Amino acid sequence: MTKAKNKAPLRIGAFEPIEKIGQGAMGDIWLCYDHSLDRNLIVKQMKVSLRNSKVMEERFNREVRVHAKLQHPNIVGIHSYWRESNTTLNIGMEWVNGWNLEQVLEKCPQPPLWVCLAIIRDILSGLTYAHDRDVIHRDLKPSNIMFGFDGRVRILDFGIAKDSEQDLTQGAGIVGTTSFLSPEQAQSLPLSPASDLFSLGIVVWKMFSGQHPFRHENPEQTVANIIGANPQGKLSNKIPHNLGQWNRRLLAKKTKKRPQNSREVALHIDRALSAYPRDLSPWLANWIYDLRKGDNSKIQVPRASFKRFWLTLFLGFIIGASAYFLWSL
C-alpha cells in the first residue's frame, strides 16, 4: 500500500486515502484503502463547494441510482454510498488495476486487430447490459474505458448517464465530451442507444486508424465535423473491408442509418472473433503486460484449427454411424 500524501484527509468514511487520482466538475477522485477487507477502492467525493446545492446533490444522487442498476463484469461497480458528518456525499466504487484506453492508445496507437475486437466486445457487453436497462452513457470515450491488467475491459463514469426515469438538465450547452459527441448530442436532440454507438464508432476508428475521425484544434470545428463531415484519416490496411464498412455505419450522421442497438453490433463482433478463443482475457493480460514492458506487444492469439475442426466432425460422424449400425443389429 502506498503511503498517503500529506494533503490527503486522514479518513474518508471508513477508508484511508492513498492519493488523489482525479478531479471532475462535481467531485474529487481518491484511491483509498479498506483495512477491513484488505483491498483498494475508488471514492468519488462531492466537492465541498457544491454541498449546499440541492441541484448538484440531486445530480450526485442520480448518478448513484443509475449506476447502482448496473451490476456487470464489464461495468465498474459501486460498493457504497454515504454522507459524511460535514454533509459531503461520497460514492465508493470498484478499483481497477490497469490503464484507461487513452493511456493504452498513447503507448500503442493501433493495437493488433484481435486486441481491438476483444476490447470492442467487452465494451459492447457492458453497453448492451446498460441499454437493456434504459441507461444511455452519453460520455463514452477512451478515458472512460478501463483496460485492467487482468485482461478485462470495463466501462466507468456514468456521471452524466441518462435513464428513462430521470434526466436532470445539465444547464445550457452540450452534455458530454466535445470530441466524442454524437451528432444528436451536439445539436441537443433526443438521444437513444444509437448515440452511444456513434461515440463507440469514434473510439473504434481511433483504434483502427490511429487518429480521431473528427477532431480539430478548434472545438467548434470538431463539433461541426461530427455533425457534417466524413471521417478523416485512413483505416489500417490490416482492417478487413467488412469491418471498415461496419465502422462507417456506426459513424452515420442519422441515427436510423446506424445499428439500432448494441446487441446487433455485438453479434457482428462475435462473428469476427469466431475463430478465436471465446475468453481472450488471458491473452489480453499478456498483451498489456508486454506493452507495459515496451516490447511492442507481439503476443499472438492462437486461432481455432479448421483442419482439426473438420477431423473432429468426421470422426464424430464415423462414431455416430457405427453406434447406429451396431444398435440396429
Instruction: Dump pLDDT digits (tens) for 249-297.
Output: 999 999 999 998 999 999 999 999 988 888 999 999 999 999 998 876 5
**Annotated catalytic residue, options 34, 139, 157, 196:** 139
- Which sequence spans correspond to the domains of the chain? 16-94, 98-293
- Residue 20's region, left for phi above 0, alpha for psi from -120 to 50, else beta, is beta
Task: Report pLDDT for 6.
Answer: 46
Between CA 226 and CA 222 the distance in angstroms is: 6
Check pLDDT > 80 for residue 48.
Answer: no
Confidence of residue 5 (pLDDT cuts 50, 70, 90): very low
Average pLDDT of span 291-320: 63
Which DSSP state fits 179? Answer: G
Task: Report pLDDT for 24.
Answer: 72
Confidence of residue 27 (pLDDT cuts 50, 70, 90): confident
Average pLDDT of span 223-239: 94
Higher pLDDT, 103 or 310: 103
Residue 139 catalytic? yes
Q: How many helices (H) and strands (E) does the chain have?
A: 10, 10
CATH fourth-level superfamily of 98-293: Transferase(Phosphotransferase) domain 1 (1.10.510.10)
Share of the chain above pLDDT 70, in %: 82
Task: Report pLDDT for 4.
Answer: 45
Task: Report pLDDT for 3.
Answer: 47
Check pLDDT > 80 for residue 317.
Answer: no
**Which pTM does this prediction carry?**
0.85
Average pLDDT of span 135-149: 94
Per-residue pLDDT tens over the stretch 143-153: 999 999 999 99
Check pLDDT > 90 for residue 40.
Answer: yes
Query: 45 in helix, strand or coil?
Result: strand
Task: Report pLDDT for 319.
Answer: 67
Query: 273 in helix, strand or coil?
Result: coil
Check pLDDT > 50 for residue 28.
Answer: yes
Beta bridge partners of 162: 136
**Average of per-residue pLDDT values in the chain:** 86
Between CA 104 and CA 110 the distance in angstroms is: 10
Task: Report pLDDT for 144.
Answer: 94
Task: Report pLDDT for 169.
Answer: 40
CATH number for the region 16-94 comes to: 3.30.200.20
Confidence of residue 142 (pLDDT cuts 50, 70, 90): very high
